[in-house]
Structure 1
């Protein structure tokens, strides 16, 4: 009988870590944990990492960098690493964990020792933009604007407490208005953009769900509305077990895919076909975080 792979989640008590832990219950793996009272004990965490096949890091950026540096100093067997922070997403030594990026990306993830899990907003934006920029339909210097709204669970335990315990939580709120959001580097990197988009994220008074929307003027593109739709459908045709290209709508609830690991892409157009809005719907904790991590774990262990 083949021994089950052993996995340690460093940061398993955070929002993403808990989501991964819950989903792992359905997989043929052995989950190894450090007692909660020792979760900040670096020696015990390193001992656990040395005993497992995969370390899943659900830590802040700097803590992830420190953990990876310590793992790389191990003289004995090192675990493979799946990192959920933004620390390594554009690092050439790491494989980007968006399996639908290109044909062959799943194989790269399966073979990798270090995989960087994508961000939630960037998963939606890259899913829409990467195929269209690669095909030349969207110019690399197009003046893009990306609007997005997420459920409050994306902000972690502190923001969840604000919305679930305080009566004066706002119904809708823009943030990162300094135009310096941490997901912008990976969006630009994996979409080959030479002009940084204006990115306007927001949070709504609902727990889970997300819409990433990108308005476009067709006369500034190298293609038609039909070509936009065809390009997306052809790119995701062989990988539609998670990512689906659906018909455009006139209304789109932000939480329609909450509590799923599915993503839906759409091209919405007006009657003149001179303006479109690209949308990606997903769960910020599903395909946007824990669900994507489980997808990568399955690939890394051939499950």
Structure 2
């Protein structure tokens, strides 16, 4: 019997990409609201209660309202917003980090943010292994395609071809910081410097490390080997060895959708400085691809079904 699935916010960027990944999949019976019903509270409540699983592709406050509308239904929920990422009763939807079984058994799953996905993939396993200290003052430099900002930012970039770079979050206190700190098990949040470029999709997350300033500086190869071992059995995250490291990392303006993630460890000759770098699609493993991966796990299906990993 097909799983009844409702995407609340299906007309947004994340929702549309989720629907594309579900095309031709007979395991799911999609509940669809027409344009007149999409913002009708009663119609949304009925859809949320009729679904076995709902995926919320909404702004934070609207996602919280949707969860209230679903109360009493027993519907399982995947929330792609940042509303519930560190909320009590919610399972963080990063299966490689949290564990597949936790997601398989959860009623409420919160998708990670796109930037935190790269940061946590790099830092969390190394802190867990004791190679990186939990109380170090970490920084994160990251650049994303403009689709990560939703329809409003997409319109701004596409309407004005003179915009070549947009640095934002200059007041600090970015909404992604709580999940970065919590799931990396850090004593304090990192200093986060996000930016956007005129490419529709793609993301590079860069964590520079002044290893010489650490009391017990880890060896570069130990960090690389720890990451490779941590993700060895997974089909979505690839850790590149020293001989696979490119001379530069690129984001192409016309990149195709991709649901995997690549991790790199770069270092200077004496090992006193390093850069941990993740490259991913902000709409793939950073959003819609992650939602599909979590959906598959929750339904007992192979986790890569419908993902674009080629």
Give the TM-score taking structure 2 as reference length: 0.92
Cα offset, 1:250, TM superposition: 2.5
Select which of 262, 265, 280 maps to 1:264: 262
> Any stretches of 5+ residues in structure 2 without a counterpart?
302-310
Give the TM-score taking structure 1 as reference length: 0.94
Counterpart for residue 113 of structure 1: 107
Task: Say if 2:12 and 2:150, in contact at 8 Å, map to a contact too.
Answer: yes
Counterpart for residue 211 of structure 1: 204
| SS in structure 2 at match of 1:214 | strand
Cα offset, 1:254, TM superposition: 2.7
Structure 1 CA distance for aligned equivalents of residues 222 and 200 of structure 2: 35
Counterpart for residue 44 of structure 2: 45
Task: Say if 1:258 and 1:282, in contact at 8 Å, map to a contact too.
Answer: no
Query: Does structure 1 residue 244 correspond to structure 2 residue 241?
Result: no
Query: Does structure 1 residue 78 correspond to structure 2 residue 74?
Result: yes
Task: Say if 2:206 and 2:275, in contact at 8 Å, map to a contact too.
Answer: yes
Structure 2 CA distance for aligned equivalents of residues 177 and 90 of structure 1: 23
Counterpart for residue 304 of structure 2: none
Task: Say if 1:57 and 1:83, in contact at 8 Å, map to a contact too.
Answer: yes
Cα offset, 1:51, TM superposition: 1.2
Structure 2 CA distance for aligned equivalents of residues 138 and 249 of structure 1: 24
| SS in structure 1 at match of 2:123 | helix
| SS in structure 2 at match of 1:295 | helix
Cα offset, 1:195, TM superposition: 1.9
Structure 1 CA distance for aligned equivalents of residues 161 and 55 of structure 2: 35
Query: Does structure 1 residue 99 correspond to structure 2 residue 95?
Result: yes
Cα offset, 1:137, TM superposition: 1.0
Task: Say if 2:169 and 2:194, in contact at 8 Å, map to a contact too.
Answer: yes
Structure 2 CA distance for aligned equivalents of residues 172 and 258 of structure 1: 21
Counterpart for residue 152 of structure 1: 146
Structure 1 CA distance for aligned equivalents of residues 286 and 84 of structure 2: 17
Select which of 235, 255, 258 maps to 2:230: 235
> Any stretches of 5+ residues in structure 1 without a counterpart?
none
Task: Say if 1:255 and 1:283, in contact at 8 Å, map to a contact too.
Answer: no
Task: Say if 1:149 and 1:254, in contact at 8 Å, map to a contact too.
Answer: no
Task: Say if 2:48 and 2:69, in contact at 8 Å, map to a contact too.
Answer: no
Structure 2 CA distance for aligned equivalents of residues 181 and 58 of structure 1: 20
Counterpart for residue 22 of structure 2: 24
Which stretch shows the higher mean deviation, 213-222 or 188-197? 213-222
Query: Does structure 1 residue 186 correspond to structure 2 residue 182?
Result: no
Task: Say if 1:80 and 1:113, in contact at 8 Å, map to a contact too.
Answer: yes
Cα offset, 1:258, TM superposition: 4.7
Alignment map for 1:189-204 (pairs within 5 Å): 189-204=182-197
Structure 2 CA distance for aligned equivalents of residues 15 and 154 of structure 1: 9
Cα offset, 1:26, TM superposition: 4.1
Cα offset, 1:226, TM superposition: 0.9
Counterpart for residue 62 of structure 1: 61
| SS in structure 1 at match of 2:136 | coil
Counterpart for residue 162 of structure 1: 156
Structure 2 CA distance for aligned equivalents of residues 166 and 244 of structure 1: 36
Select which of 165, 169, 187 maps to 1:172: 165
Task: Say if 1:55 and 1:82, in contact at 8 Å, map to a contact too.
Answer: yes
Cα offset, 1:61, TM superposition: 0.8
Cα offset, 1:228, TM superposition: 0.7
Computed over aligned residues only, the root mean square deviation of the Cα atoms, in angstroms, reads 1.3
Select which of 122, 130, 138 maps to 2:116: 122
Structure 2 CA distance for aligned equivalents of residues 258 and 135 of structure 1: 35
